[in-house]
Amino acid sequence: MEVAQRLQRIPPYPFREIAAIKRAMAEQGVEPIDFGIGDPDMPTPPFVIEALYEAAQDPATHPYDESGFGIPEFKQAVADFGQRRFGIEVSTDNEIQCCLGSKEALAHIIWAYVDPSDVVLVPEPAYSVYKVQTTWCGGAPFPLPLDPAAAFLPDLSAIPSSVANAAKLLFLNYPNNPTGAVATREFYEKAVAFAHQWDLIIVQDAAYSEVYYEDYLPSSLLEIEGAKDVCIEMHSFSKSFNMTGWRVAWAWGGEQPVGALSKVKANVDSGTFMAVQRAGAVALSHYDQFAPTMRAEYQARRDALVDGLNSLGWNLARPQATFYIWAPVPPNFATSAEFCAALLQKCEVLAIPGTTYGDAGEGWFRMSLTLNGADKLGQIREAISRIGQRMPGLWG
Ligand SMILES: Cc1ncc(COP(=O)(O)O)c(C=O)c1O
């Protein structure tokens, strides 16, 4: 039986394909140094696991979560975190939705708003979900190129009025995957004004809001005056608490978009396991105990990888947030895929071609600081040494 045209229209999920390449290499006894998928390699903090263990033993957590938006304890912990971390007020009544990971929320907000041929403003390069789900709904993704010369912030003033007028959603993602870029407050102010002007909803993907370095502190879009009327922001426990497999996240923002997301979810899933929500609440309340150690670890890896690549001829700045290094492909390689294939074959180093994140990613590749196996800094040094020895003179 042929699958629906709808499913035929969308490409396979990129990281499934990369996993298949890794499996094929493993069958030949080759295990690359893997800078591929951005899946934290550190374990979930023990106090969160203990909270889950305790909550899972309470039969009250075993049924469906009939609250719809999330249990009161979870929503209160989210609201308190919003107050402490960003200085924002979010109502536990109708401005927070617990989600099964932010990917689910990002996909379903599109299903909530996009009818066939509706325009969605999608940055490029970007996490694939925004464009793929828009296409899936029959919508028309309009690409917003992220120019390195503009610090990877989209030029909203370059969007033709006819497009802005037809657009229902504007996707933003800061701190950004794959570029590691961060948004200025000034940019957020412009984005909120743009959303008011054209009567559209901003979906800000804040999955990396807690992975930041030194004195840089990412803002929430909700800090901007008037944002709540035009915005829904997705946060995740995945990267911030090493909880990718737990599938727990939250959306907060205006009552209307949060309610719309909730209505889709009510008809598709039956909420997050309440024991996981309780553990999530504990994670948020003890956040400061844990996050500095995680950031220090990524910072050491970031410095080792950026300094290492620079020693080979790159000229990269250290990203202020995320665990991604976004680097230009050296000359003499026609495409980012060609460079990444050479890196894999000659050095057994796995990096992701920029085109995985859209055509605008051509000429770039991404390396994630999440690494499996022991001695992460040793693996980074080994990768740099292999590239230096086996691919000499990359930059002439
Ligand atoms: C930009 C971005 N948003 C959202 C997600 C999804 O995270 P999760 O569904 O685990 O919350 C990812 C995962 O890699 C991501 O890179």
Ligand 1 midpoint to CA 163 (Å): 27
Ligand 1 midpoint to CA 207 (Å): 6
pLDDT at 12: 73
Kindly state the average pLDDT of the residues 189-196. 98
Ligand 1 midpoint to CA 235 (Å): 9
Atom of ligand 1 nearest to the CA of 244: 10
Residues 38, 52, single domain; the answer is no
| 356 C-beta closer than 6 A to ligand 1 | no
Print the domain residue range for 129: 46-287
* Structural contact between residues 35 and 380, judged by C-beta atoms closer than 8 angstroms: no
Q: What are all long-range contacts of 22-27, with beta carbons under 8 Å and residues at least 24 apart?
A: 22/350, 25/344
Instruction: Show which of 218, 253, 287 is a domain's final residue.
Output: 287
Atom of ligand 1 nearest to the CA of 127: 1
Residues 186, 328, single domain; the answer is no
Ligand 1 midpoint to CA 393 (Å): 36
The answer, yes or no, to whether residue 176 has pLDDT greater than 80, is: yes
Atom of ligand 1 nearest to the CA of 249: 11
| 207 C-beta closer than 6 A to ligand 1 | yes
Q: Does 395 reside within a domain?
A: no
Residues 279, 304, single domain; the answer is no
Instruction: Show which of 272, 287, 302 is a domain's final residue.
Output: 287
Residues 23, 59, single domain; the answer is no
The answer, yes or no, to whether residue 298 has pLDDT greater than 90, is: yes
DSSP state of 316: P
Q: Can you tell me the distance from the alpha carbon of 71 to that of 65, in angstroms, rounded to the nearest whole number? A: 7
| 103 C-beta closer than 6 A to ligand 1 | yes
Residues 132, 239, single domain; the answer is yes
Residues 135, 258, single domain; the answer is yes
Residues 282, 168, single domain; the answer is yes
Q: Does 396 reside within a domain?
A: no
Instruction: Show which of 256, 287, 318 is a domain's final residue.
Output: 287
Q: What is the pLDDT of residues 206-226, one digit of tens each?
A: 999 999 999 999 999 999 999
Residues 193, 340, single domain; the answer is no
Atom of ligand 1 nearest to the CA of 100: 9
What CATH code is carried by the domain that includes residue 298?
3.90.1150.10
Going from the C-alpha of 106 to that of each of 37, 139, 207, the distances in angstroms are 19, 15, 11
State which of 127, 130, 240 you would mutate to test the pocket of ligand 1, scoring each by most atoms of that ligand within 8 A of its C-beta. Answer: 127
pLDDT at 5: 87
Ligand 1 midpoint to CA 349 (Å): 23
Atom of ligand 1 nearest to the CA of 236: 11
Domain count, the chain: 2
Q: Can you tell me the distance from the alpha carbon of 68 to that of 78, in angstroms, rounded to the nearest whole number? A: 16
Residues 156, 281, single domain; the answer is yes
**Amino acid occupying residue 71:** I
Residues 351, 303, single domain; the answer is yes
| 236 C-beta closer than 6 A to ligand 1 | yes
What CATH code is carried by the domain that includes residue 153?
3.40.640.10
Residues 192, 64, single domain; the answer is yes
Ligand 1 midpoint to CA 59 (Å): 31
Q: What is the pLDDT of residues 54-104, one digit of tens each?
A: 999 999 999 999 999 999 999 999 999 999 999 999 999 999 999 999 999
DSSP state of 84: I
| 127 C-beta closer than 6 A to ligand 1 | yes
What pLDDT band is residue 14 in, cutting at 50, 70 and 90? low
Residues 351, 274, single domain; the answer is no
Q: What is the pLDDT of residues 33-52, one digit of tens each?
A: 999 988 899 999 999 999 99
- DSSP string over 205-256: E-TTTT-B-TT--PPPGGGSTT-GGGEEEEEEHHHHTT-GGG--EEEEE-HH
Going from the C-alpha of 373 to that of each of 31, 35, 202, 244, 386, the distances in angstroms are 11, 12, 39, 18, 18
